[in-house]
Structure 1
Amino acid sequence: MVKEVYKSSEEKMNKTITVLKKELASLKAGRANPSILDKIVVPYYGTPTPISQIASIAVPEPRLLTVQPWDSSILKEIEKEILKSDLGLNPTNDGKLIRLLIPELTEETRKNLVKVIKKHGEEAKVAVRSIRREANEKIKALKKESTITEDQEKKGEEDIQKLTDNIIKEIDRIVETKEKEIMEV
C-alpha cells in the first residue's frame, strides 16, 4: 500500500521536473528558438490552439523567428497573443507572416530572466511539496484504517521526505544551470 503511494508520488514529482525543464527551455536566451512560442495558444475557430499547430515557425537567422500561419486570416490573432505573452517580443506583421526579432540580452534583461527562472523553480518546489503533503495524508489514512502499522507509516513518511529532498535538489540544480546559461550568453 505504501509502495503504491510512493510510486505515484515519484511519478508526479518527476512530471513536475519535466514541466519545469519545458518551461525553462521556452525562455529566450538571446538566440531564436522556436520553443519560446510553445506556451502561446491562439483561439482558432473557438478552440485554443498552440501556434505550432496552425503555423510554420522558422529560424532564418540566429536572432529572428518567422511565424507563417497556414490560414492568413489568423495572422492578427497570433500577433495579439504574442504581444499578450510574457516574452517581451514585438511582432512585425507584413500581411503574410510575422517576424520576431529576438533582442540581444542586456544586463537588465538577463536579471529579469533569472527572476523568471527562479519563479518557475519556486512554483515547481511548491508543486512537489503539495505532492508530498498528499502522499503523507494518504499514508495517515492507511494508518487510520489500520491497513498499515505505525512503523510502516513512519517509514513511508521518511521515504516520501527523502524523495522530496532529492527532487528539490534536482530542481535547484536545473534552475542554477539555466541561470548560468542566461548570465553567460
Structure 2
Amino acid sequence: MGAWQIAQLNVGHVLYPVEDPRMAGFTDRLDEINALADAAPGFVWRLQSDSGNATDILVSDDPSFLVNMSVWENVEDLFRFVYRTAHQGVMAGRRQWFARPDGPYQVLWWVPAGHRPTAEEALERLKLLEREGPSPFAFTFKKAFPPPGEAGTEPAGRPSDLEPDPWCVGWQ
C-alpha cells in the first residue's frame, strides 16, 4: 500500500423518491454493485449506512440529493470498476433516475492512506472543482493528477478557501 489513496465522490438529484417504483432499476441493483465494488481490485472503503449503501445518508436539506463516496488504492483500479464492470451498465441508465447535472457531479482527490473522508470534505472538493477546474486538490478522470510528491507534483500551497488539512503535511 502506498502513502496515498484516491477518494471519489459522485452526486446526483434523483427524479423520484428512492422508494418510488420508477427508481427500481437503480435501487434493485445497489446490493449487486456495492458487492462488486467491495470485491474489486484496489477497493479500500465506501460510505454506507446500516442499510449497506448511502442512499439514506442525507448531506443536505434536499432529500433528492444523493452522494456516493469511496476510496481506492489508485485511479486505474477505480477507473476499471467505474467503466469496465457491471457498474457501467447502471451509469448508462442514470438519466432514467437522476436529473441532468448542471455542473460537476464527480470529483477525485488524493488522501493519505487510511484516511476516510467526510461528506463535508468531499463536497468542498466538488465545489473547488466547479469553481477552479481540475487541480491537484480536486480533479476528474479526464484531467487526473498524480499523488502529492510524485514526479515533482507536490503542490506549493493549498487553495486559500480550504481549511488546512492536518493529515496532509506536505500540502500546508
Q: Which protein has the larger Cα radius of gyration, Structure 1 or Structure 2?
A: 1
**TM-score, reference length from structure 2:** 0.25
- State TM-score, norm by structure 1: 0.24
